[in-house]
Structure 1
């Protein structure tokens, strides 16, 4: 009998709790004064697209460009590309946010790095809607641009063209790309422990970029966890695997001009990377012999290309200038979209004149480096942190580096100004 009474009592308690929960829900619904705040509901009447942007589009293109980091024609081109992925259906409750406003919101976020709450007031979108639109549109941008503007070379002739540009522009033969990596700082993911905790004491994902001689991205990889060791960062990306297994149709080894020893086509990098058969890095430490300093100088000239790529991206898309208040997956979406937009803007002649006008990148005059204008306005240290120095070197790679060094101080390989630079 007591067991039966206990069951009845338990059922009664559960029924009471359910009733109380229903009452609280009803009271909460009564307290809600409106489904959407009044000032947000006036977006169609007083929103950004209906007022300010129309005025800028028709009368102040320079300010419009500053607002989005692209021209009106560029915006319209992108809209045609992505609208198939970001157009939503109207419902009985409310009309869907049109694709042009979704794209405008996302480009403004990339251009400024404004918080979602700031964008809420600017665009009259609820903050939850902003948080949904930005990563979705970033994924759409990357998806529609990557095939045409982020293609990794897959033929010998394409690699030879890149090597020819490095030799003619930067005086470094057999170079098929400048390699560098950065930690992109983000907020600490929940329950991640030390997975994304980097050597600088922040949380990050790693962005690895390979650039050609004309400041375009040949390959990028983003998403490596910040805690990965210096040697493992490059080894973990697909480019390392493809190079090791000769899957990229890189040209076969050939002697340098006037030399007999065959050397491979290589990437140039800094001390963060291990010296490998296909990666050349500087001689370490100071007080190196003059030929070694010549090699370091010549390598740094070619490697500076990728440093400028990071600089211009962070200068134009200033979301990279501050820690991203996003989790790893959404951070990857944002960075991937920026890489795609960079290559797209660099590929279009008219867009490039706006995105990277003369003087933007570092250049040399009579052997003297003239810093690009992006350096006047940006210190990358803060949100884009260099990866750690690596001390791993292979014996075969050292022999290859010696051959490049000997070539650079030979009559066939030297340049007239190199000795005054060391």
Structure 2
């Protein structure tokens, strides 16, 4: 019995020595396909050609090479990884390229992993870290916290371009589609019957975002989103140090600086909304037209951003916290591109915001008397000789 047992053990030992070991996929440090990243990866064989073709570079990255290099120089120290004895890290330029392609196309992490010859987890971490770095590094320069000087300058531009006095921005909110968060119930399920988080933005006359608020749950009402936002608290406490009043151009009448919004927002001394649509007389129609015209800046801002970054036109398939980083990165990149290249109104297409759903129209609210009087003052200005526009009677 012992002899047979020993022979069996010897035979098994011989087989184990002669048979080649087949490593499991989980034990691989780098998959064989990904080992050829520097030869066949999209970045390595395409980037040199894009550098020599500026129009194609802009089409690929949604920005010029100069803007790309400007961003890269600022965020490189944050996203740089040190070389080790085990393997060579992904360069900051390649990390930025992967992230911009994710934002520009909305491709899945798995799809990008194949084209760039990387692991899925590697792509996910690159996008997360780079989006976070984009916001933290660029926000202070390209979307600083508004103050009196910024708001006054914005109001001057608004009057020049959109003919609305003492307005420093237009406000709007959009639902950004996300996958159902784990154990969230119906908290993120909105009135359009899909899961979302809310992006609320204030745009200046050049369609840049002055400030944004990201992360409200899709189920929240329009009033709840605004009243629970940091923007509302700042305006209520005058944290921006806005002057109490400024003269309307070409008159001695003074009003405070204000925002303009649609029916989804309340009428407040610092926030104008349209007159109710029922039983409108001509002066009220003219006011609504002028306000609607002023609101075009924020509609253009959302439209241009959604045209550049297609990730906003599909469901963001990440955790909510990660989705917030992605949305913030899109907003700050939108501002950087405008600051460096100007506003491209040709990109604005109302159909491009079809996946970015607006907030619902609000029910009638109790408006403050001060705000009512302010709206009437503006209405009278718009039909006066100093404030009227030649075409407004036809457009209203």
TM-score, length-scaled by structure 1: 0.84
Alpha carbons 1:120, 1:126 under 8 Å: kept: yes
2:389 alignment partner, SS class: coil
Aligned equivalents of 1:239, 1:117: Cα separation in 2: 37
Aligned equivalents of 1:158, 1:374: Cα separation in 2: 25
Q: Does 1:102 align with 2:95?
A: yes
Equivalent residue, structure 1, for 2:64: 71
1:38 alignment partner, SS class: coil
Aligned equivalents of 2:248, 2:24: Cα separation in 1: 79
Equivalent residue, structure 2, for 1:46: 40
Aligned equivalents of 2:44, 2:135: Cα separation in 1: 27
Equivalent residue, structure 1, for 2:228: 236
- Report which stretch shifted further, 407-416 or 135-144: 407-416
Deviations 1:46-69 (A, max 9, x none): 2223212112212x2211211111
Aligned pair partner of 1:193 in 181, 185, 189: 185
Aligned equivalents of 1:261, 1:169: Cα separation in 2: 21
Structure 1 residues 135, 291: CA separation in 2 closer, same or farther (over 3 Å shift)? same
Q: How many residues align?
A: 373
Equivalent residue, structure 2, for 1:402: 376
Alpha carbons 1:198, 1:226 under 8 Å: kept: yes
Aligned-pair Cα RMSD in Å = 2.0
Alpha carbons 1:159, 1:251 under 8 Å: kept: no
Equivalent residue, structure 2, for 1:385: 357
Aligned equivalents of 1:53, 1:224: Cα separation in 2: 38
Aligned equivalents of 2:163, 2:240: Cα separation in 1: 24
TM-score, length-scaled by structure 2: 0.89
Per-residue deviation, 1:405: 0.9
Per-residue deviation, 1:209: 0.7
Deviations 1:173-200 (A, max 9, x none): 1111111111111101111111211111
Deviations 1:117-173 (A, max 9, x none): 110111001111111111110001111111111013312x43222212111221111
Q: Does 1:309 align with 2:283?
A: no
Alpha carbons 1:276, 1:393 under 8 Å: kept: no
Structure 1 residues 44, 260: CA separation in 2 closer, same or farther (over 3 Å shift)? closer
Equivalent residue, structure 2, for 1:22: none
Structure 1 residues 163, 31: CA separation in 2 closer, same or farther (over 3 Å shift)? closer
Structure 1 residues 257, 30: CA separation in 2 closer, same or farther (over 3 Å shift)? closer
Alpha carbons 1:231, 1:392 under 8 Å: kept: no
